[in-house]
Amino acid sequence: MGSCKEKEREQAKCVWVHGPIIVGAGPSGLAVAACLSEHGVPSVILERSECIASLWQHRTYDRLKLHLPKQFCELPLMGFPSNFPKYPTKHQFISYLESYASHFSIQPRFNQTVQIADFDPSSGLWNVQTQDFEYISRWLIIATGENAEPFIPKITGMEVFQGSIAHTSVYKSGSDYKGQRVLVVGCGNSGMEVSLDLCRHNAIPHMVARNTVHVLPREIFGFSTFGIAMALSKWFPLRLVDKFLLLMSSYILGNTDQYGLRRPKTGPIELKNATGKTPVLDVGAMAQIKSGKIKVMEGVKEITRNGAKFMDGQEKEFDSIILATGYRSNVPTWLKSCDFFTKDGMPKMPFPNGWKGENGLYTVGFTRRGLLGTASDASNIAQDIAGEWLTIKESKNSHIILL
């Protein structure tokens, strides 16, 4: 009797999903669910947090705005409201995503962390395990993002530092650091924007620029730099586009090398395409660097009890450290028996071919091209699955059947 009951309990935890399983309810998961529903294909989204777009809701700072103009950040099938500004705030972006989900009746299953996803060749099905259920489907769409987990580097001496150390994923506002000497490790978009925010709240930021970085103005004579680059690259070789961008940058921002932000040898767009490294779009940090309010430091050699020693021999005291050291994909930790991804959790096939794997596996939002890449992946995937869907006769009942 006992074992029979156990079997029943186990069976109740097994969920057959009629359409694809989508892992992640960020912009990518929502976009692909919407595109599928346009083709009449139902889907189930599994999301580890308790809300949609958890990156935007929980892991971004207060003053964040979209880095790119809104026309480059729209999801497929539904644009931004016309009254939104050119660069929507994070709150506007979240409200857009909420309207998007409700418009397409997308209801993710929240608090479902995917722990293992495995393809069973004998049944031709994907088994996707969360802490509560095992979901089974013909298709698995990975939408967990390039930024799933904060990346925290190991820096010698971190454990002895007396002040606070926080990753940008928990940074909200410079008001928490008023009057403090803050070491910001990293000089990408987050490092630059957090340093600027700290300045505006009368903190004293020192930003570490260990690697080379391309800083470009967000706009050139009122036109989005990103938009200009996209338009020019349709007509001219990338090297020429890069030359133009660098010329304009040096005219508008000056020689960034002079301020400790060394430029890579390869141009910004060529570098982005080859390595995925995004240029920084300046929203005001350069002016603070020039005025000396943000101090740029070379690499950190060691963290000490009260501060840090730098590669150039300087030693300074700090009250807090903020790690603007980026994020990593988490796919390798839960996707099993599949060699579609690199060990860093990115598809091995470069854009535009990284959206489709074998055995009904798909990925959305791993293009290193932001939301534009997401939109392209989502419509490709929906078209592909819709073709197969039409040939499969399924029950017209509810799309989740408890086995």
Ligand X SMILES: Cc1cc2nc3c(=O)[nH]c(=O)nc-3n(C[C@H](O)[C@H](O)[C@H](O)COP(=O)(O)OP(=O)(O)OC[C@H]3O[C@@H](n4cnc5c(N)ncnc54)[C@H](O)[C@@H]3O)c2cc1C
Q: What is the binding site for ligand X (CB under 6 A)?
A: 23-29, 46-49, 53-55, 60, 64, 66-68, 73, 113-114, 143-148, 190, 330, 334, 365, 370-371, 374
Residue number with CB closer to ligand X (130 or 308): 130
As a dihedral over the C-alpha atoms of residue 34, residue 39, residue 42, residue 45, rounded to 10 degrees, the angle is -30
Q: Which is nearer to ligand X, 101 or 303 (CB)?
A: 101
Nearest distance in Å: CB 202, ligand X: 23
Q: Which amino acid is at 221?
A: F
Of the two residues 199 and 283, which places its CB atom closer to ligand X in the complex? 283
Element (H, E) at 220: strand 219-220
- Pick the closest to residue 151 from 11, 324, 395 (CA basis): 324
Closest contact distance (angstroms) between CB of 143 and ligand X is 5
Of all residues in this chain, which one has the CB nearest to ligand X in the complex?
26
CA dist list (Å): 396 to 18, 21, 107, 316: 10, 18, 19, 67
Hunting for tokens 């101090």 — which residue is that? Answer: 295
Which residues, listed in sequence order, are joined to residue 327 by a DSSP beta bridge? 150
- Cβ(53)–Cβ(95) under 8 Å? no
* 219/318 with CB nearer ligand X: 219
To the nearest whole angstrom, how small is the minimum distance from the Cβ of residue 273 to ligand X? 16
Q: Token pair 């419509």 is at which residue?
A: 379
Q: How near is the Cβ of 151 to ligand X at its closest, in Å?
A: 11
Look at residues 169, 187, 179 and name the one whose alpha carbon lies nearest to residue 204: 179
User: From the centroid of its chain, how far is CA 167?
Assistant: 15
CB of 114 to ligand X, least distance (A): 4
Q: Of 360 and 365, which CB lies nearer to ligand X in the complex structure?
A: 365
Q: Which residue lies nearer to ligand X by CB, 27 or 217?
A: 27
Q: What's the CA gap between 367 and 340, in Å, rounded? A: 14
Q: Which is nearer to ligand X, 181 or 369 (CB)?
A: 369
**What are phi and psi for residue 267, nearest 5 degrees?**
-65, 165
CB of 51 to ligand X, least distance (A): 8
Helix (H) or strand (E) holding 363, with range, is: strand 361-363
**Distance (Å, rounded) from C-alpha 66 to C-alpha 16?**
38
Nearest approach, Cβ of residue 380 and ligand X (Å): 15
Between CA 366 and CA 370, with CA 367 as vertex, the angle to 5 degrees is: 95
Nearest residue (CB) to ligand X, 24 versus 307 = 24
Sign of torsion, CA 263 268 270 276? Answer: positive
Nearest distance, CB of residue 371 and ligand X, angstroms = 4
